[in-house]
Each structure stands twice: as structure tokens, then as C-alpha cells.
Structure 1
Amino acid sequence: MSVLLSTPGVDDLDEVVRALAEWRREGTPMQLHSGDVGFYWQFGSEVTAAALRTWRREGRILGVGLVDGPDLVRLAIEPEAREDEALARQMADDVTRPERGVLPTDKAHVEALWEGRFREVLQEDGWELDEPWIPMVCDLSEPVANSGVRIEVVGPERVEDRVAVHRGAFDGSKFSVERWRAMAAGTPYADARCLVGYDDRGEAVAATTVWSAGPGKPGLIEPLGVHRDHQGHGHGRAIATAAAAALRDMGASSATVCAEGANTAAAATYRAAGFQARPEVRDLRRIGW
């Protein structure tokens, strides 16, 4: 049967989110998480739907892509379909040809963090390995140590602290109260929490959002940051520890995050918080065909 590429409508978003959550299982590689879509929801449901791509066979979703910028698609695939030859070739063809409406330029990057036929087909077709990522995992079968700082779960009444830390942690960020409200209105946020860490003077110094995929499944930290004015004091370790504890409270089996291979400080922060590094994986790139 044919594999069909499509762009979902707003009414299809819940189905896409459910598929991504279902595919997150212990022992399987990291890939696009329902929380990644949840964080993207800050741009609104219509923009989020327009950024998504699905690959279906007989109506069943087998692959999902999030077009996260002009030259990057982040992908997930049903775990049982990793060696599906027809699916791999169709997805590879769709991300390679700009006219298919996935990656509109010749310069393109694919984030596919699992080993399988899809990555093999892309490399056979001339795609090259790109920058490394380090998957980090914290097992939540046992209680998590206390973070050592005051952590608050924030909602609409204190969202300004969440936004201020985010903008102070990520240069050029345009995150805002309005974007937070759009994100919080999205379906994935029903299984999410925003955490803010405060120092001894009561100043908001670190923040994160954690996303559950359901009880017994790996949760996601996306994003996590320390305000630039408060870096170097252990607040990153503290908020990462708090994120893991929050996910455990929500029933997650593990806390997961991917650190850029070049960002050794981020990887060290997660290690200090009890996360274990998995073997690095690389994006794939195509430049100027």
C-alpha cells in the first residue's frame, strides 16, 4: 500500500500528538516528542499544524515531521516501522525534493535520531552526517534528590517569571506571556509543567518546561535555561534535578533531553543532575545539490 505525505489540519493535531506519545517507549531511541510539538504550540494551533507533516499508510500515521525553521525537519517514526523499506524510501524522497513541501531549499537538515532504514537511504543518496547530539537520560525508578533551591510550578499568575528567565537564558528569544498562553492552551500542555527556580533573594534564576508522554513513558525537558545574570552558581544542575523530580511525580519512567555535542557545559550540567549520556547521534545534512 502507498505511503502518503500530508500536512495536518488543526482538527488533526490531537491525533498527531497521541501518535508521538505512543511511540515514546523505554529502550527506544529518542526522537521528536509530543512535548516538542507542545513547545512549538506557542505560535498557535494553525501555525503548528502548518509546520507538521505526516506519513500515513491506509490512514495510519507511521511518521511525523516538524518543520522547525527554513532548513530543518525533526522527525519521529513508529518504532516497529524503522526497517520498513517503502516508508523509508518515501520519507527520504519527500524530504529530499523541495517540491514535496517538507524542506523548501537545497540546503537542508534532517533530525532523525534513530538508527534504521530511513537514515541509511538518505546516506546512500548522498546526505552527510552533521553535528552530533548527546541523548541524556535520567532513570526515574527511584526518588530524585532534592534540588537544593526553591522550585515553583508556575501558571498564569506567575508566568512573567517564566518568560523573564527564558529571555534571559536564550539570546534573541522572543518568548512572551502571549506565547506562553498559546502554548498552555495546546493539547500537549495538559501533560506538562513549567518550573521556575528562585535563589535565596527570591529572584527567578532558572526555568524549564517538562512534558509527559503518559505514565510509564519517557518524559521530555524542553527547554531548560539559566538566566545569564545568574549562571555559574549551580542553578542549571538544580533546575535539571527539579525537572526530573517533576516528571517522576507525573508518572514518567525517565527524564530525557538531547544536548548539543558542542555544548559541553550543558552535558556536564545534566550529568551533575544524575543524567546518563547515551551514544551520540548526528543530524543529516544536504548542501547545494
Structure 2
Amino acid sequence: MAIVLGTPAVDELGNVVRALREWQDDAAPIQLHPGDLGWFWRFGAERTAAATRTWSRDGDVVAAGMLDEPELIRLAIRPDLQHDEELAQQLAEDVSAPERNVLIEGKVYVEAPMGSLVQDLLFKDGWMTDDPWVPLRRDLSEPVPDPGLRVDVIGAEEAHERTGVQRASFDGSTFTDARWHAMADGVPYADARCLVGRNEIGESVAAVTVWSAGEGRPGLLEPMGVHRLHRGRGYGQAITVAAARALQDMGSSSAIVCTPGFNVGAVATYKAAGFEQLPDKRDLYRND
């Protein structure tokens, strides 16, 4: 049966989220997580659907991709099909041909699971490796200690605090209250929490959103930030520990996060919070 490339309708996104949940496994390469789709959902369901691609065989989704940008697609592949030749060849062809409506013309990027066959095919076809990303994981089989910081779970009434910390953590952030509500209305947010850390006088100093993929599966931190006026006081480490603890409460087997290799401060923060640094991940790119 042929593999079919598609763009899901809004009411079909739930099927994509379910597939991504099922594909999360501590024994498999880190790949696109339902939380990645959930974080993108802040732009609305319609835009999320338009940025999603699926590859199906016999009616079953066997791979999925999310266009973080028109020139970057992040792929997830069903674990038992990471080395399926037919699927890898179809993925490689589809991301390489602008007329397939996956990536645009020009310089484009593909993030695929490390060690997957599609990576090998793209590399042999002249794609090159980009700058490294650092994945980190914390095992949650043992109790996670108290973070030593007051941490509140944020709901709709406190959304402005979560968005305010985000904008104060990342230059150019466009995370508004309206976008928080759009994210919270998304299918993946049913298994997510927004956390805000407060200092001794109650100010919002750090924030994180955590995404569960279900009982016994890896959960994701995306994103985590510390307010620019409150840095250098250990709040990043504390809110990261709180994130791991929240995922443990939600039944996650581990907590995962990925940060650019040049962000040595973030890597140090995650390691101080008990995360183990894993081998680097690298996107592939081609500049036509």
C-alpha cells in the first residue's frame, strides 16, 4: 500500500497527537513530542493544522512532521519504522521537493530522529549537518526533591503571569494572554501544566510549561524561562526541578528538554537540576 502525504484538518489533529504520544519511548531516539505541537498551538488550531504533515500507510499514521518555520520541519517516525526503506525514501523525497508542499525553496532544514534511515538518505543526497542541539533527560523513577521555591500551577485567571514571565525571559517573545488561551484550548494541553515560580515576596520570577505523553512515557519541558530581572539566583534550576516533579506526578517516566548547543548557561542549569546530557542532535540542511 502506498504511503500518503497529507495535511490534517483541524478535527484530525487529535489523531496526530495520539500517534505522537504512542511513539514516545525512553528506549527510542528523542523526536517530535506532542508537547511540541501543543506549544505551537498558541498560534491557533487552524495554523497548527496548516503546519502539520502526516505520512500514512493503510490509513495509519506512520510519520508526522511540524513546520516550526516554512523552512524547518521536525519529524517523528513510528519507532518500529525508523529503518523502513519505503517510508524513509518517501520522507526524503517529500522534504526535498518544494512542489510536495512540505518545505519551501531555498535553504531548508530537517530535524529527524538520530540514527533513522531518512537521515542517512538525506546525508547521502547532499544534505549537510547544522549546528548541534543538546538533548537532556532526567529519569523519574526516583523521588524528585522539593525545588526550594514556591511554585504555582497557572490557570486561566493567572495566564497573564505565565505570559509575562515568558516575554521577560525571551527577547522578541510574542506570547500574549490570547495565545496562552489558544494553547490551553488545544488537545495536547489536556496533559500539560504551566508552572510559575515565585520569590520570597511573591514576584513571578520563572516559568515553565510541561507536557506529558501519558503514563510511563517521557514528558517534555517546553519552554522554560527566567525573568531577566531575577537571573543569577538559582531560579532556573529550581523551576526545572519543579517541572520534573510535576511530570513525575503526571506519571511520566522521564523529563526531556533540548537546547541549542551554544546556550551553555541553559545546559548548565538543566544539569544542575539533575538532567543528564545526551549525545548532540543535529538538523540537516540544504541550500538550493
| Map of 1:128 onto structure 2 | 128
Shift of 1:157: 1.4
| Map of 1:142 onto structure 2 | 142
Q: What amino acid maps onto 2:42 in structure 1?
A: Q
| Map of 2:186 onto structure 1 | 186
| Map of 2:155 onto structure 1 | 155
CA distance in 2, matches of 1:195, 1:152: 6
1:98, 1:106 within 8 Å by CA — same for their partners in 2? Answer: no
1:159-204 Cα shifts (integer Å, max 9, x gaps): 1110100000111011011000010011110100000000112110
Q: How many residues align?
A: 288
SS state at 1:5 partner: strand
1:94-151 Cα shifts (integer Å, max 9, x gaps): 1011111111122101111321210000001000000111110000001111111100
1:261-289 Cα shifts (integer Å, max 9, x gaps): 111111100000000011111110111x2
Task: Note the 1:62-101 alignment, pairs <5 A.
Answer: 62-101=62-101
1:113, 1:283 within 8 Å by CA — same for their partners in 2? Answer: no
CA distance in 2, matches of 1:98, 1:159: 39
Normalised TM-score (structure 1)? 0.98
1:5, 1:55 within 8 Å by CA — same for their partners in 2? Answer: yes
1:181-236 Cα shifts (integer Å, max 9, x gaps): 01001111010000000011211010010000000000000000001111111111
CA distance in 1, matches of 2:55, 2:206: 38
2:129, 2:284 within 8 Å by CA — same for their partners in 1? Answer: yes
CA distance in 2, matches of 1:100, 1:150: 49
1:228-274 Cα shifts (integer Å, max 9, x gaps): 11111111100100000000000000000012111111110000000
Q: What amino acid maps onto 2:122 in structure 1?
A: L
| Map of 1:276 onto structure 2 | 276
CA distance in 1, matches of 2:70, 2:9: 20
2:77, 2:113 within 8 Å by CA — same for their partners in 1? Answer: no
Q: What amino acid maps onto 1:47 in structure 2?
A: R
* Residue 252, structure 1, aligned to residue 252, structure 2: yes
Q: Percent identity?
A: 55
Could you tell me which runs of 5 or more consecutive residues in structure 2 were left unpaired when the two chains were aligned: none
| Map of 2:35 onto structure 1 | 35
Farther off after superposition, 203-212 or 101-110: 101-110
* Residue 200, structure 1, aligned to residue 200, structure 2: yes
CA distance in 2, matches of 1:113, 1:77: 8
Q: What amino acid maps onto 2:139 in structure 1?
A: D
Shift of 1:70: 2.2
* Residue 265, structure 1, aligned to residue 265, structure 2: yes
CA distance in 2, matches of 1:83, 1:163: 41
SS state at 2:134 partner: strand
CA distance in 2, matches of 1:147, 1:199: 12
* Residue 215, structure 1, aligned to residue 215, structure 2: yes
Could you tell me which runs of 5 or more consecutive residues in structure 1 were left unpaired when the two chains were aligned: none
CA distance in 2, matches of 1:279, 1:42: 30
Q: What amino acid maps onto 2:188 in structure 1?
A: P
SS state at 2:241 partner: helix
SS state at 2:69 partner: coil
SS state at 1:31 partner: coil
SS state at 2:65 partner: strand
